[in-house]
Copies of this chain bind each other. A is one copy, B any other.
Amino acid sequence: MKYRITVLPGDGIGPDVMAEGVKVLQAVGRKFGHSFKLEYELIGAVAIDKTESALPEETLAMCKRSDAVMLAAVGDPRYDDPKLPVHPEDGLLALRKGLGLFANLRPVRVFDELVNASTLKPEVLQGTDFVFVRELTGGVYFAKPKKEWVTSRGRKATDSMTYSEQEIERIIRVGFELARARKKRLVSVDKANVLKSSRLWRQVAVEVSRDYPDVALSHVLVDACAMQLIRTPAMFDVIVTENLFGDILSDEAAQLAGSMGMLPSASLSGIPVAGKRTFGLYEPIHGSAPTIAGKDIANPIATILSVAMMLRHSLALDSEAAAVEQAAESVLKHGYRTDDIMAPESTRVGTRQMGDLIAARI
């Protein structure tokens, strides 16, 4: 079978790690007899440089014609000044909205081999394996009004944390579907003691739970969750939450895995169901790390594990996905480490060699 994939290397280390993701994808193609048609497009600072837009129309159009999208990273210090009219990150936000990618999945798994790489005690991390489900196209990121204005007593600015029941329902269903296929425990995170949008969130979660009697739903306040994530991380199975809470908590949780360089993500436009193909965008959760760009230092594993998520969720190629994950794990087991996860008695390798080692094990 032939699959069309849009490839968006983006900025900084983006091209470095994307090359390794593509390398592993092609190894999968050879081994399992698939053909992947890769189409490279611009996003982020490189797109602004060439087109003055962080998300050129062509890029969005190409993504829409694809079976899935691979993205590496956006962001460039040259465009950091908030006063500039356009920022690389705007491209990412526009892409999420333009493709309707409402469901962001971030698995957090602490590999036994890396249990010492985190700032948390190994005994606390033992057995940590959960999935964050973050709502990605609603809430305070996108809702209107979102503006700054001047009053007689100075400037004011507002953002709106607004949710409709449809927006909440579909993301809660994603949480339940994933939990059903895992340990059947769903934690919904909100701030229902203060926010109206959280009260609606909680009500809808309870309503949807009637369709999933086999899954245990519980509610945790966002501040308590920030604490539990580092107190008892192994107790979580699936966590579902709104856009901003998900941004904060999933980055906190990333710290458990020792390095951002290890964690993949999927952003889907539908509810994932095992064996069915759902359109999505796949990216490592780390940023563009401009200071190490082009130096063969960056860890490509997050991008490679994102390829595995793409194979599973958008192409319904489960064995292929598992092959990629096993290859990455085996390379870690054999002691190979990039700079960010280096440990005594391990073998330090660069970006390209890490990609080669994993591709060779497919």
Contacts and interface: CB of A to CB of B under 8 A. Distances in A.
Contacts of A120: 119-121, 230
A213 B203 CA distance: 49
A68 to B, nearest CB: 25
A158 B162 contact: yes
Contacts of A344: none
Contact of A166 (B82, B146, B153): B153
A19 B160 CA distance: 43
Contacts of A141: 194
A195 interface: yes
A158 B156 contact: no
Q: Which of A157, A166, A204, A229 has the most CB of B within 10 A?
A: A157
Interface string A58-100: 0000000000000000000000001000010100010000000
A202 B162 CA distance: 23
Contact of A252 (B199, B204, B227, B244): B227
Contacts of A160: 158-161
A105 to B, nearest CB: 17
A244 B151 CA distance: 24
A226 B248 contact: yes
Given A120-B119, A248-B223, A161 B159 contact: yes
Contacts of A273: none
A226 B200 contact: no
Interface of A: 82, 87, 89, 93, 119-121, 124, 140-141, 143, 146-148, 151, 153-166, 191-197, 199-204, 222-224, 226-227, 229-231, 244-245, 247-249, 251-252, 254-255, 260
Top 9 closest A-B pairs, CB basis? A157-B200, A226-B252, A223-B251, A158-B162, A154-B165, A157-B196, A119-B124, A159-B161, A157-B197
Given A148-B196, A227-B251, 7 more contacts: A82-B199, A119-B230, A121-B121, A146-B195, A155-B203, A155-B204, A157-B197
